[in-house]
Every structure is written in structure tokens, then in C-alpha cells.
């Protein structure tokens, strides 16, 4: 990312565990100061913040439900005051649910899924653009949305609703990238496959990565650090001509 801000400031949502935590720590190692958003687990977020500080970088822990506009506005205000002008956003916060067919799902489940996975990412992107876009007097920056290969596989008989929410993220990424291409902001998405993180436990399948890993062409599940590496590349100046990309990091799945 060609940005005059030094050090650049990054917000990672859902940074208390898994891909978000790995991204925050790797970004710090690469020179970013990091705002770490979390939903509930303060201790986990603080532990990640200590790992960021161990890299010699500043860390700010900010609690917010990403689909709550008032909380998102408060979070960005805290970052403005506590760290300074934002240069990067990783929209990582998201949820799955227990495996279920579409004809077994409730509207409440769908509303929660789309509220957090889609509206949350759009809200955070909106506020980031209001700070980074040259249209708004910003210095430019980069947004990376965390999607999923489920967006193209569909996740039949598992969680079609989750797959659909990530399909929405793919469309959002492409459209937003084109919308702000002349404003100094790049927008891309990383689509992980089966990765060993705690998200599987929250979906009722803590052993999912171990069980399904051998079915991946590379015959293993991915690691959070491997996804973080792709995210941080898209944030970096090495990806200066990359926008609107959907980068699969899925072991060939």
C-alpha cells in the first residue's frame, strides 16, 4: 500500500481469535499499529494486543458488535482518538451456525447471519472509507474482506445461509473496489477453505478441520497464519495494482 502514514494504522475485526488474531500479529510484525475489535472475550483480545505490542507496535482493543451502527461509530471514534487516521481495514468478524438444511432454518438465524457477516462488513467499510478515501480528504488505504470458498461451493446440507452471506461479500468486494478505484482505496477479499480455527466449534463441529482436511487436494486443513499471510499481502504495497480480487487460499479446494 502506497500510503504516507507512518506507521500505518489497521483495524482488524474479530481479532480475538483465529484468522483475525493471526492477521493482527503478522500485520504488527510488518509495521502496522493495530486496532483489535472483539465481541465478547476481552481476555482473548487483550492477549492478542500483548502479542502486537511485543512486535514493537501500538495496539488498541475496542469492543463492538459490528452490525450495531452506534457501536461501530463509537469504535471508529475511539480509533481516531487513540491511534490516528486509519490506513487499513480487515473485515474478519463473522459467524457460522450449526449444520442445517434450508428447510430447517429459521428467519432469526438468517437475519443474524446476514446482519453480522454482511451488514457488519459494510458498516465497517463505510466508516473506513470516510477516513481513507481521497474523496473525503483521506490519504488512501486498503480493505480486505474475509469471505470463504463456501461462496462458490454453496455448502449444501451444511450452511447454505453462511455460503450465501459470503457470496454477498464477494459481490460487495467487487462493486466497492470499482466504486473507489480512483480514490486511493483498494478493496479485495480472501476466501479461506477449511482452516483450523475455533469457528468450527461455534458451529457445533469442533473436529471439522481435522475430519475434512484429508479431502482437500493438498490433503490437510489450512492454518490461520497462512490466511493471514494472504491478507497482509493484499494490505501491502506489493499488491498496489490489485483491487477487486477474490483470492482463494484453500489448498486447492
Active site residue 162: yes
Of 205, 172, 166, 167, the residue nearest 187 (C-alpha)? 172
Catalytic residue among 38, 159, 162, 241: 162
Q: Quickly count: other Cβ atoms within 10 Å of residue 239's Cβ.
A: 19
- Contact between 208 and 150 (Cβ < 8 Å): no
Catalytic (active-site) positions: 162
Amino acid at each position: 500500500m502506497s500510503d504516507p502514514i507512518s506507521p500505518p494504522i489497521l483495524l482488524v475485526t474479530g481479532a480475538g481469535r483465529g484468522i483475525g488474531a493471526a492477521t493482527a500479529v503478522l500485520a504488527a510484525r510488518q509495521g502496522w499499529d493495530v486496532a483489535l475489535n472483539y465481541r465478547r472475550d476481552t481476555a482473548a483480545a487483550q492477549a492478542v494486543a500483548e502479542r502486537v505490542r511485543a512486535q514493537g507496535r501500538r495496539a488498541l482493543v475496542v469492543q463492538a458488535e459490528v452490525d450495531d451502527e452506534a457501536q461501530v461509530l463509537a469504535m471508529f471514534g475511539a480509533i481516531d482518538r487513540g491511534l490516528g487516521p486509519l490506513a487499513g481495514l480487515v473485515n474478519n468478524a463473522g459467524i457460522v451456525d450449526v449444520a442445517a438444511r434450508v428447510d430447517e432454518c429459521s428467519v432469526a438465524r438468517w437475519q443474524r447471519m446476514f446482519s453480522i457477516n454482511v451488514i457488519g462488513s459494510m458498516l465497517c467499510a463505510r466508516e473506513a472509507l470516510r477516513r481513507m478515501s481521497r474523496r473525503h480528504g483521506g490519504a488512501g488505504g486498503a480493505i480486505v474482506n474475509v469471505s470463504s470458498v463456501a461462496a462458490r461451493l454453496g455448502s449444501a446440507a451444511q450452511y447454505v445461509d453462511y455460503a450465501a452471506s459470503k457470496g454477498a461479500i464477494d459481490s460487495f468486494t467487487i462493486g466497492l473496489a470499482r466504486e473507489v478505484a480512483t480514490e486511493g482505496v483498494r478493496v479485495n477479499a480472501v476466501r479461506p477453505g477449511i482452516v483450523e480455527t475455533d469457528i468450527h466449534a461455534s458451529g457445533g463441529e469442533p473436529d471439522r478441520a481435522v475430519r475434512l482436511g484429508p479431502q482437500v487436494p493438498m490433503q490437510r486443513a489450512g492454518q490461520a497464519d497462512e490466511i493471514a499471510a494472504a491478507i497482509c499481502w493484499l494490505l501491502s504495497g506489493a499488491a498496489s495494482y490489485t483491487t477487486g480480487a477474490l483470492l482463494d487460499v484453500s489448498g486447492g479446494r
